[in-house]
């Protein structure tokens, strides 16, 4: 995952924020914010907490949801494990699994799901029961689901099936639908 300042800087078409974690690291591009993501299909920051939420499409068997709290750097320098892991499952044994931030939730392709579409944490007045839940979908199944992290781990609720879901976005008031 890359992080840039979209304003031109000197002769470059964009700038590099000075607190990016890989500035000056040999062999790394200074634009890198996080690594170890296979295909992060939509990411968002919780509008109230600043936590980073990512829907990461798997290689062939597992879809994953990753989250890093704002207080833990909101993904700054995080390694989400691809290609050492697909979800929480070892994928390439020749890749180091050290220091990996594991997903908070994963689901397999044994059902009808096959491609996660990351979403947003719901805040707003629409559906009060979804306040603080992360809404995400799956392209293949068309399932819209809600995820909440609790003391006993993730809680997931299937909300409805509606056809292929490619994106879930915040409403015009800047808050996620709830």
Q: What's residue 128's pLDDT? A: 84
Q: What's residue 11's pLDDT? A: 97
Q: pLDDT above 70 covers what percent of the chain?
A: 96
- Cβ burial of 61 (10 Å; 0-12, 13-18, 19+) is middle
Q: Report the distance separating Cα 96 and Cα 12, nearest Å.
A: 34
Cβ atoms of 67 and 136 closer than 8 Å: no
Cβ atoms of 75 and 68 closer than 8 Å: yes
Tokens (6 digits) for 149: 């992290």
Phi/psi at 158 (5° precision): -80, 125
Q: Report the distance separating Cα 144 and Cα 162, nearest Å.
A: 7
What does the pLDDT profile of the chain (178 residues) look like in tens digits? 999 999 999 999 999 999 999 999 999 999 999 999 999 999 999 999 999 999 999 999 999 999 999 999 999 999 999 999 999 999 999 999 999 999 999 999 998 899 999 999 999 877 889 999 999 999 999 999 999 999 999 999 999 999 999 999 887 766 666 4
Domains parsed from the chain with CATH numbers = 1-33 (no CATH), 40-161 (2.120.10.30)
Tokens (6 digits) for 132: 């603080």
Tokens (6 digits) for 95: 């890749």
- DSSP three-state, residue 130: helix
Could you report the per-residue pLDDT of 132-153, keeping only the tens digit for each?
999 999 999 999 999 999 999 9
Q: What's residue 30's pLDDT? A: 98
Task: Name the residue among 170, 161, 112 with its Cα closest to residue 137.
Answer: 161
- DSSP three-state, residue 156: strand
């Amino acid at each position: 995952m890359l992080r840039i300042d979209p304003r031109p800087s000197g002769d470059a078409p964009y700038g590099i924020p000075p607190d990016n974690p890989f500035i000056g690291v040999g062999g790394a591009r200074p634009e890198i914010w996080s690594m170890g993501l296979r295909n992060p299909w939509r990411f968002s920051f919780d509008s109230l907490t600043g936590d980073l939420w990512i829907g990461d499409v798997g290689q062939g068997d597992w879809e994953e949801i990753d989250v890093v709290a704002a207080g833990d750097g909101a993904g700054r320098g995080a390694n989400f494990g691809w290609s050492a892991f697909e979800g929480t499952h070892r994928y390439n044994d020749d890749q180091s699994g050290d220091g990996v931030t594991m997903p908070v939730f994963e689901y397999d392709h044994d059902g009808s799901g096959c491609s996660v579409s990351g979403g947003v944490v719901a805040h707003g007045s629409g559906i009060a029961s979804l306040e603080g839940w992360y809404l995400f979908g799956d392209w293949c199944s068309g399932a819209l689901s809600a995820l909440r992290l609790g003391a006993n781990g993730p809680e997931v609720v299937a909300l409805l099936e509606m056809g292929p879901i490619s994106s879930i976005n915040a409403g015009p008031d800047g808050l996620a639908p709830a």
